[in-house]
């Protein structure tokens, strides 16, 4: 072990400098400044190098975190990047948007022993950003080209991870996406203050320069059926994500001024590319109420602040400890002026043609449900009204009806609408695989990356079993 490790006994945990709230709410730039090399390597040196690395165990990608922390602490940054990128297709993105407090950092032994965890995500971001600066990040370079082409439907994290891995194996890779830019929710769902768009674009450009062909504004079911793509490619990977919003099922939900979270975020993110934001999606001078407690709700409240809302309130039916979103995101939102109203649910939206208020009811947390979370129940007589002329429903997402959309009735789905797959991630259709949220339901970017990589490996095994390895002429 490097003598530079175990420095937690003399060094406190530290993040990169965070821009003051009064400054960062004036723009959509990332809120953390870059780690400088001495600070980043010092934080890496706090690692205890545990015999059982709980940080790695609780990382969906099983990233070899202790090793790349030790390499970074020793100043061996190129090797640290090689180790980090060996298991992660987009470490610079995971370092920015993974909820480390619920994954690797939350399981750090130092966190459990009151020393505060190693700031793993910030060091991961530093290692890869430094690698980009130094020119160490290279696209996939197959040793042998294969004739077989693979079609990937969806260019979000799952689709891009599958594309990178399949291209590295020598396949001819085509990515089909309904949007005009590749990146999925990393481009149009996640705001720039968490993930600046050039970070995603340089990754997709790297893939394009490596031979991955992107087909934008291409909608399966409109521009081609699933069967058309199956005939064109040796195998397919479906990585569409889940885009269907859960409905806000209260009276008044159809009033003007009531928005679905993804519509709102897409409109705002398009403004990051210089496009005009439609007046109906601009929260400037509005009294905003966001309903929900996940990371999407946090993205919405913080976007509204930056758009210049008069006030921003978040309603959530459970308490802070039981909310599904990252606690760090809640803290950032509070710093930026968002008001949280816990254990409160909407009962109806008031207004004639346009929403004027949210009639709310207070909730009591009762016995735990099957997931272990306490079930909220209404407190009788606790009704009151939150003033609002701009309401965002951020209640989560469900799968779209892919068999109907794709013209593929034999594509089997679960009772939740997600695609059914075997242990190798192959669907009910031979040669058609699936990865990410469309399989597991709305989840994290890091899980989509893992699934994309796993699906790519399964595609290779499937095709190798069908026929001898085919090299290009």
Residues 280-307: pLDDT tens digits?
A: 999 999 999 999 999 999 999 999 999 9
CA distance 473 to 459: 21
Q: Which among 46, 48, 49, 50 is positioned nearest to 11, based on CA atoms? A: 46
Its pTM stands at 0.93
Give the fold, CATH level 3, of 7-134: Fumarate Reductase Iron-sulfur Protein; Chain B, domain 2 (1.10.1060)
pLDDT on residue 431: 97
Q: What is the pLDDT of residues 360-396, one digit of tens each?
A: 999 999 887 777 778 899 999 999 999 999 999 999 9
Convert the pLDDT of each residue in 197-208 to its tens digit.
999 999 999 999
Residue range(s) in the chain whose domain bears CATH number 3.50.50.60: 149-242+399-466, 248-396
C-alpha span between 8 and 318 (Å, rounded): 36
Residue 3 has pLDDT above 80, yes or no: no
How many helices and strands (H and E) does the chain possess? Answer: 18, 16
248-396: what fold? FAD/NAD(P)-binding domain (3.50.50)
Q: What is the pLDDT of residue 372?
A: 76
pLDDT of residue 114: 81
Token readout for 461 is: 């095994």
Q: What is the pLDDT of residue 369?
A: 76
What gap in Å lies between CA 112 and CA 108, rounded to an integer?
7
| 171 backbone φψ class: left, alpha, beta (φ>0; ψ -120 to 50) | beta
**Mean pLDDT across 337-345:** 97
**What is the rounded CA–CA span in Å between residue 395 and residue 398?**
10
Average pLDDT, the chain: 94
CATH, domain range 149-242+399-466: 3.50.50.60
pLDDT band for position 323 (cuts 50, 70, 90): confident
Residue 54: pLDDT over 70: yes
Q: What pLDDT, on the 0 to 100 scale, is given for residue 471?
A: 46
């Amino acid at each position: 072990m490097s003598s530079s490790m175990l420095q937690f006994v003399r060094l406190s945990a530290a993040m990169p400098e965070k821009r003051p709230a009064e400054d960062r709410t004036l723009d959509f730039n990332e809120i953390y400044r870059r780690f400088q090399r001495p600070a980043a390597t010092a934080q890496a040196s706090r690692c205890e190098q545990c015999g059982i690395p709980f940080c790695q165990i609780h990382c969906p990608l099983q990233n070899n975190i202790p090793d790349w922390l030790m390499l970074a602490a020793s100043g061996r940054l190129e090797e640290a990047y090689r180790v980090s990128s060996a298991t992660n297709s987009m470490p610079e993105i995971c370092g920015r948007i993974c909820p480390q407090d619920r994954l690797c950092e939350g399981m750090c032994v130092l966190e459990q022993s009151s020393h505060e965890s190693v700031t793993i995500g910030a060091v991961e971001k530093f290692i890869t950003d430094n690698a980009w600066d130094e020119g160490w990040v290279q696209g996939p370079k197959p040793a042998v080209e294969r004739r077989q082409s693979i079609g990937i439907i969806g260019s979000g994290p799952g689709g891009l991870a599958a594309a990178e891995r399949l291209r590295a194996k020598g396949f001819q890779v085509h990515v089909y996406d309904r949007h005009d830019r590749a990146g999925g929710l990393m481009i149009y769902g996640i705001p720039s203050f968490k993930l600046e768009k050039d970070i995603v674009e340089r990754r997709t450009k790297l893939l394009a320069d490596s031979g991955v062909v992107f087909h934008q504004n291409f909608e399966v079911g409109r521009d081609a059926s699933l069967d058309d793509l199956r005939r064109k490619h040796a195998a397919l990977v479906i990585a569409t994500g889940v885009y269907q919003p859960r409905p806000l099922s209260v009276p008044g939900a159809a009033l003007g001024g009531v928005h679905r979270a993804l519509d709102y975020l897409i409109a705002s993110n398009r403004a990051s590319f210089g496009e005009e934001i439609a007046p109906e999606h601009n929260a400037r001078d509005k009294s905003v109420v966001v309903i929900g407690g996940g990371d999407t709700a946090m993205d919405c409240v913080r976007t509204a602040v930056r758009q210049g809302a008069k006030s921003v309130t978040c309603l959530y039916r459970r308490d802070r400890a039981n909310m599904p979103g990252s606690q760090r995101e809640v803290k950032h939102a509070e710093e930026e002026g968002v008001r949280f109203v816990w254990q409160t649910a909407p009962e109806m939206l008031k207004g004639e043609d346009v929403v004027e208020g949210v009639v709310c009811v207070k909730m009591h947390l009762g016995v735990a449900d099957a997931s272990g979370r306490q079930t909220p129940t209404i407190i009788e007589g606790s009704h009151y009204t939150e003033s609002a002329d701009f309401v965002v429903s951020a209640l989560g997402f469900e799968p779209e009806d892919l068999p109907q959309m794709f013209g593929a009735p034999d594509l089997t789905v679960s009772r939740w609408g997600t695609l059914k797959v075997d242990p190798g991630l192959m669907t009910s259709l031979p040669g058609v695989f699936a990865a990410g949220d469309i399989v597991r339901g709305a989840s994290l970017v890091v899980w989509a990356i893992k699934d994309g990589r796993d699906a790519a490996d399964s595609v290779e095994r499937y095709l190798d079993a069908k026929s001898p390895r085919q090299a290009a002429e």
